[in-house]
């Protein structure tokens, strides 16, 4: 590479690193808003976030950055190594997208996100969807305007999906979701009518929060989460945030009446955290090391939560540890009864508490609502009734309140339309990845049964986490598993697992 090119590339990386640092600050104050900020600071925080969003937007759309990218492209991308090419291409894509969005719109979305989140928390607490509805309408208007700016040739909802699942459209998602509905709804109904129902009585009672916290932290650490580069806190809605791979922050929420929810939320968020902590060494402040898509990110949390932690080997390994934490409740339980109990299929109102068999239907419901909101076939004011009707259709239950229904998720309060499909796409990815792991490392389940998670974490670090954005999601899945995304693995896994648990054959 020529010296002049070296200079321009160095100039580019300096600008990209500064943007990364600013985004880290934004992430930290966002985490603070969710976890520690006093409620009275909401308006001030909204202004702070808006101002910082404006500064970041200025950096992203700086004409000097565009000039630098132009010179590098004219030099020829084949003169750079694969990581350098990725940084240039990612920076060019982001620059092209960001320069199409007026600063005023960026700031408006950021400020509305902060205000809407506060409004959502209050509306959720008070069970008043009508108080949140105006914010949702504003967000739809702003996200439609955003979509027209960045992807004028795309369907508006597809433009929003692309933000989370690049290169994926509703035309690809809808057939997969229709197939899942056709397979899962009848299976769930069969399970509900099955004569055998696993005993879950020992999972009911009072479970001290301090015991829950200690157990969750131990298992998170055992799996491989580095608490020197991360921390665990409490929030209304569990999430993984932080400013850098050396500062990864996971959260959960605790209920004294249910230790399974918080424990598996921690395992889920630990999966996200491991992805962030495992990003490409030496390039952690550059685009090439960033996580690929939300679906791939979700595959990593579900890989640990469902493929591993809800499996028999994991339950066998940790059963005595869990029983020691809650001896009065699990005195007469066994590893097998515990495994069956945590894998029961029971339609419920809350997505984040849903079992893996009903969970996809929660996602499909939200996907179809978002699609309807953007194509105009649904209106915001009708959402509580639409939500309740679809819950009856898919899961046979009707939420008694909006808090347990349309108000339960934080995503719309941040304008994250198009995010929900990533959860179920992630489950399909996770199952396919796990199937490949077992083929390549047949002793993996024995390792799980003995608490040896290092080989599995190393496999994920090498095959997925450290690959950053070198490949598209489609290319990554093909490289890791040898075939394209295939929902058959997910469907067959669910059928086999739940047929055995409920003794259906």
d(CA 50, CA 213): 35
Q: Is there a catalytic annotation at residue 269?
A: yes
User: Residues 286, 16: contact at Cβ < 8 Å?
Assistant: yes
Output helix, strand, coil percentages for the chain, rounded to the nearest 5. 70, 5, 25
437's tokens: 């792991």
Among left, alpha and beta (phi > 0; psi -120 to 50; other), residue 456 is alpha
Closest CA to 420 of 359, 379, 375: 359
d(CA 237, CA 353): 11
Q: How far is CA 470 from the centre of its chain?
A: 20
Residue 28 CA neighbour count, 13 Å, CB half: 13
150's tokens: 């960045």
User: Residues 168, 162: contact at Cβ < 8 Å?
Assistant: yes
End-to-end alpha-carbon separation of the chain, Å? Answer: 65
> To 10 degrees, the CA torsion angle through 130, 413, 272, 219?
-40
Residue 203 CA neighbour count, 13 Å, CB half: 19
Q: How many angstroms separate the most distant Cα atoms in the chain?
A: 75
Strand partners, 233: 251
The DSSP symbol for 127 reads: T
Q: How would you list the strands of the sheet with 230-234, edge to edge?
A: 230-234, 247-252, 240-244
Q: How far is CA 97 from the centre of its chain?
A: 23
- 443 phi, psi to nearest 5 deg: -90, 10
User: Which residue is catalytic, options 34, 111, 269, 290?
Assistant: 269
Residues annotated catalytic, as ranges: 269
């Amino acid at each position: 590479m020529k010296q002049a090119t070296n200079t321009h590339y160095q100039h580019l990386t300096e600008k990209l690193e500064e943007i990364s640092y600013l985004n880290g600050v934004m992430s930290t104050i966002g985490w603070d808003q969710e976890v520690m900020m006093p409620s009275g600071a909401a308006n001030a925080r909204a202004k702070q976030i808006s101002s910082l969003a404006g500064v970041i937007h200025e950096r992203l759309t700086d004409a000097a950055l565009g000039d630098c990218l132009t010179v590098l492209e004219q030099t020829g991308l084949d003169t750079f190594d694969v990581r350098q090419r990725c940084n240039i291409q990612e920076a060019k894509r982001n620059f092209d997208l960001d320069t199409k969005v007026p600063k005023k719109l960026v700031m408006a979305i950021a400020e509305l996100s902060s205000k809407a989140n506060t409004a959502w928390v209050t509306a959720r607490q008070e069970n008043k969807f009508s108080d949140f509805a105006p914010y949702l309408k504003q967000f739809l208007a702003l996200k439609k305007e955003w979509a027209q700016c960045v992807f004028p040739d795309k369907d508006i909802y597809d433009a929003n999906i692309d933000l989370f699942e690049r290169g994926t459209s509703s035309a690809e998602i809808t057939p997969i979701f229709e197939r899942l509905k056709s397979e899962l709804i009848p299976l769930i109904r069969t399970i509900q009518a099955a004569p055998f129902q696993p005993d879950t009585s020992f999972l009911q009672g009072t479970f001290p929060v301090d015991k829950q916290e200690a157990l969750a932290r131990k298992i998170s650490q055992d799996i491989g989460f580095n608490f020197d580069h991360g921390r665990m806190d409490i929030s209304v809605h569990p999430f993984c945030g932080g400013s850098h791979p050396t500062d990864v922050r996971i959260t959960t929420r605790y209920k004294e009446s249910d230790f399974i929810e918080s424990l598996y939320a921690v395992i889920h968020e630990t999966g996200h955290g491991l992805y962030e902590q495992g990003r490409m060494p030496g390039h952690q402040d550059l685009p090439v090391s960033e996580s690929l898509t939300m679906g791939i990110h979700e595959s990593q949390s579900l890989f640990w939560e469902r493929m591993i932690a809800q499996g028999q080997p994991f339950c066998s390994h940790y059963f005595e540890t869990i029983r020691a934490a809650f001896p009065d409740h699990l005195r007469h339980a066994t590893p097998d009864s515990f495994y069956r109990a945590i894998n029961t299929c029971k339609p419920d109102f809350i997505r984040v508490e849903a079992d893996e068999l009903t969970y996809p239907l929660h996602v499909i419901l939200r996907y179809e609502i978002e699609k309807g909101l953007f194509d105009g076939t649904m209106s915001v004011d009708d959402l509580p009734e639409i939500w309740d009707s679809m819950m009856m259709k898919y899961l046979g239950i009707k939420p008694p309140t909006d808090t347990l229904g349309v108000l339960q998720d934080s995503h719309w309060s941040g304008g994250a339309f198009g995010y929900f499909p990533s959860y179920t796409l992630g489950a399909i990815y996770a199952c396919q990845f796990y199937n490949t792991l077992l083929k390549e490392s047949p002793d993996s389940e024995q390792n799980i049964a003995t608490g040896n998670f290092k080989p599995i974490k190393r496999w994920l670090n090498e095959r997925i986490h450290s690959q950053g954005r070198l490949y598209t999601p489609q290319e990554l899945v093909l490289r890791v598993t040898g075939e394209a995304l295939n929902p058959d693995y997910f469907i067959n896994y669910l059928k086999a697992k739940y047929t055995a648990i409920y003794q259906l054959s």
